[in-house]
Chains A and B, each alone.
Chain A
Amino acid sequence: MNTVRAVLGGPSPFWRRALRPALRLGGTLLLGFVACAGIAVCVGIDPRVMLVEWIKGAVEGPQIFETVARSVPLVGMALAAAVPLRAGIVNLGADGQLVLGGLAAAVVALYLPLTPGLRLPLALLLGAAAGGAYGLLAALGELYARVPLLLSTWLLTYPAKGLCGYLVRSALRDPVTAWPSSHRIAPAERLPELLHGTPLNGGLLIIVALAVLVVFFDRRTALGYEIRMRGLNERFALYGGIALGRQTLLLMAVSGALAGLVGAVMVLGSEYRFTDGALTAPQYSWSGTLAALLAGGEPLGSVVAAVLFAALQTGGFAMERSVEIPRVLTTVLESMIILFLAMRSATWRRLR
């Protein structure tokens, strides 16, 4: 045991802290890849070809930009999941908050009679506000009607998706397109391109700033400390005088606002329209939730996990194109990693 400790805990406290989770992540990732290779063999795919294409597709040449672009929604949704998870709360309604944020942003950018310079920031702001309000609704449900957040957040996604789907088929519909989608957002209201010829846009900067903010609040403020304390031991937090109800409201509002902002960033930065299903089909919210779970709600770890998942997904697209292996295998891999971790360790036992 002492030798293990001597190997794991070096002289630098940073390495001691970083090595353990890195080993854990590497181990489960390896296990996940092995399981995926097993599935591949079962359906008659050469696992070596699969792995090479998967990894090449994520990092080779211009693919790295695709990975970074994909990280934008994934990191955003991972933060949205991590903020409440830090206190032991699971927000399963990120999809609903995401589409409402996207729709609000599209409506502001398309229809609000304002000077063009004001529309873009207002669209982002109202997108976040729409998502935040919807998250708050679920929290109010738990506080005043004792509907568990786990259920209410999930159930609330359906009417949100239904409403958005209905609106882009009726009042907001652009008749030119074949898909049920809104009109195209004018270039003045779009987030600016960062690098010409790549999918990177201003949304990347917004997400990076948000990540820094969340990490700062988590580590350096009293509020972050209170939230972490609740995650570790809710009864102790209550004993320490923390108003748990008010904290739940705040956490769900922030989580919803983050998800809504991701929706706004996607609509204003890369989609340029609100299309029914375009924001939910890639399952950003699930990947974000899994990334946050992987890091146990720790924000920086969640960001790292989300970037990793973005790389896996980008590689999955390339894998599907080049060797025709269904890219849903990435979903299988991601969920298996969490499943293995949850079984292996008692990391999340306190969530109960």
Chain B
Amino acid sequence: MSYQMLFAVVSFVVLFILISTEKFNKTILALFGAFLFISIGIIPQEKAFLAEDWNVIFLLIGMMIIVGITKHTGLFQFVAVKMVKWAKGRPFVVMIYLCLVTALFSALLDNVTTVLILTPITILVTVELGLKPIPFIIAEAISSNVGGTATLIGDPPNIMIGSAVGLSFMDFVVNLTPVVLICLALFIGMAWFFWGRTMYVSNERRARVMEFDEYKFLQDRRLLIVSLTVLGLVIVGFLVHSLIHLEAATIAMAGASLLMLLSGKHEVDKFFEEVEWGTIFFFLGLFILVGGLVEVGAIKKLAEFFLSLTGGDIKNTTLLILWVSGLFSGVVDNIPYVATMIPLIKEMGTADPALAGNAALLLPVWWALSLGACLGGNATLIGASANVVSAGLSAKSGYPISFLEFTKYGVVITLAHLAVCTVYLLIVYF
């Protein structure tokens, strides 16, 4: 191992640990690391720009604008309250419906925005029903991570994998949605044992919630119609983007531009404020860091090590990636983890003569990476951004969720989900 490679690996590991501890701003760490890699020549400046995955960047920006505008319509709160009323205030049914809505929104939008919008209304509903909000908040955070796993746009790891491997929206739907639905059903069953059995709501409380007027959320009907239309078009665009030879990023940016054009009344600056620029710049820095590791040959070495562990057997590799990703994502940020694993798996495809030239053989490994990284985030409170965000909102409202409180459920659920995924991958692909 050359000194340059050693320096790159050590710097990357240190940055990775610092990012995962969340003691420092991860965007600044990633940008500083990128500057370090470029300035000391680990990756030349020209190659650093080529290392950026612009499909990921613009897909995120486009979806952030669309979701940012749509959230002002009150649609999400409307749906949540509607679900509670459809459940007639019966506590476990309320939990199921809210989990399903969270999973659906997370699959079609993004899971952090989903929990940001749904957590406050969930706390309100549970308090009005006389229930403890924390089980509902944990259940929604877990559902958001599960739901986000189902589609290309549901969770950042999927966006990265889809873009890097050239997988379409439908590829994710066909390959991941079935197992996600099984995981969701399993989770609901577990939620009954964890929380559902002991919930009770009085008739008076139930009647109070049934009197909620959810239509009051829909104040701007014009914006609602425009947003729903554009969102519908974007989803249709995602479903057919591989057929019309357009990248998902192009569809998302087209949708964002159309929505900005049709929403009209706001200034352009307001629309761009909806973009989480910190996240975007985090990705920009991260891609350069990983590009640096590829450039110095560290990823190749790691890929060779992985192949030596599994003997080049795809089945073993798939299961190893699933469980390593699942366990890793519970304790470290899954975005830098997936960013590192993508070139590693690609390298495995070229390093192994049996796999070279036949990318389809590696597909189970990509699905294993997605399932492990996305579902693994449920293991602990810090495993996924959605968990951190919902716990933060909950604490601010007077319902703090401790690391242990979340983890005692999260670990069991994650292990169960990884077991389901193992069986699914073995049955479907081997």
Bind each other: no
Q: List residues of B whose CB falls within 8 A of some A CB.
A: none
Q: List the interface of chain A (C-beta within 8 A of B).
A: none
